[in-house]
Chain A
């Protein structure tokens, strides 16, 4: 089955700096790559996603890049703010029928004021 690895597991940045989280996956047929943010005790919230026919997508301070050849994708957060502190999960969906998501292990991001 699909295997998703996420790094780093924890990330501490100074407010205003950038944060980058990387995920690698194993199934070359995967075609959908969402990122979720989960604050303590709350539901995972979709923050950005990308499909295999796009190499990069940006939404304000958040961007995701995809390298299908290398089978990795990354989340970039610029000008980090304290409210960006949370756990971030990458996920991968298979190209075959069905929308099962396989999640990475998560990255705990701490933005220090």
Chain B
């Protein structure tokens, strides 16, 4: 069964450093999502891509966060500089996308747990 892949699984960094996370969605999924999950809370959407285009980045702290999906397949989320409050699980998810005649089902990757010291 195809799964969403993410790397690294764990990342420890010091504040003010740059970090990057990678996501490879399920093949054929046009829509890709990055969520942030703070311990004990539900995931919150940071950015949503439809193919290579951003369709929602309203909750992305754009002064320090950036995301790209250059070829409409895999994606990278970057934080620069990292702050203590960025410690969280960063989850990537993918779905076929709207208008595909299928479902809205989102499939999640294993996440990257970021610790900022």
- Interface residues, chain A, CB within 8 Å of chain B? 4, 6, 32, 34, 36, 42-46, 49, 89, 91, 93, 97-106
Contacts and interface: CB of A to CB of B under 8 A. Distances in A.
B111 A100 contact: no
Chain A, interface SS category: strand
A45 B93 CA distance: 11
Give the interface SS of chain B, mostly helix, strand, loop or mixed: loop
Contacts, number: 57
Nearest to A4: B42
Q: How large is the interface on B (under 10, 10 to 19, 20 to 34, 35 or more residues)?
A: 20 to 34
A2 to B, nearest CB: 11
Contacts of A49: 103, 105
Closest 7 CB pairs between A and B?
Answer: A103-B42, A43-B108, A99-B104, A44-B108, A43-B110, A32-B104, A89-B42
Contact of B109 (A6, A43, A89, A99): A43
With most chain A CB atoms within 10 A of its CB, the pick from B55, B108, B109 is B108
Contacts of B25: none
Instruction: Pick from A32, A44, A93, A99 the residue with the most CB of B within 10 Å.
Output: A99
Contacts of B108: 36, 43-45
